[in-house]
């Protein structure tokens, strides 16, 4: 049994994100930005594979996704509040 209201920090984070004055999407993005590439890949590898991340681009062919396409405060469709 936990000594605290939530079993772990993640449970608190999920709860707080759903509150009107809780953790914001920008704060979550800042947390993610503190992760290194290996941590991100460890967590999201199945999704990365499904999105074609590991498929090599043909030489001279560029993708239409900017490597700097993440904008703090902007959340892609399907990834906004309630997505956690």
Answer whether residue 61 is part of any domain.
Answer: no
Answer whether residue 14 is part of any domain.
Answer: yes
**What is the CB-side half-sphere exposure of residue 1 using CA atoms within 13 A?**
1
Check: pTM over 0.75? Answer yes or no: no
Answer whether residue 24 is part of any domain.
Answer: yes
Average pLDDT over the chain reads 81
Given a cut of 70, is residue 56 above it in pLDDT?
yes
Residue 77: its pLDDT value, please?
A: 47
Query: If pLDDT is split at 50, 70 and 90, which confidence band does 62 have?
Result: low
Residue 60: its pLDDT value, please?
A: 65
The parent domain of residue 19 ranges over: 9-50
| Cβ partners under 8 Å of residue 82, min gap 6 | 18
CA distance 15 to 22: 8
Reported as a single tens digit per residue, the pLDDT across 21-51 is 999 999 999 999 999 999 999 999 999 999 9
Rg for the chain, CA atoms, rounded: 16
């Amino acid at each position: 049994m936990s000594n605290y209201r939530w079993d772990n920090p993640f449970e608190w984070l999920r709860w707080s994100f759903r509150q009107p004055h809780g953790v914001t999407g920008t704060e979550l993005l800042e947390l993610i930005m503190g992760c290194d590439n290996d941590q991100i890949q460890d967590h999201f590898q199945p999704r990365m594979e499904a999105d074609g991340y590991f498929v090599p681009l043909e030489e001279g062919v560029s993708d239409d996704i900017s490597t700097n396409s993440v904008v703090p405060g902007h959340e892609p469709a399907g990834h906004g509040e309630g997505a956690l």
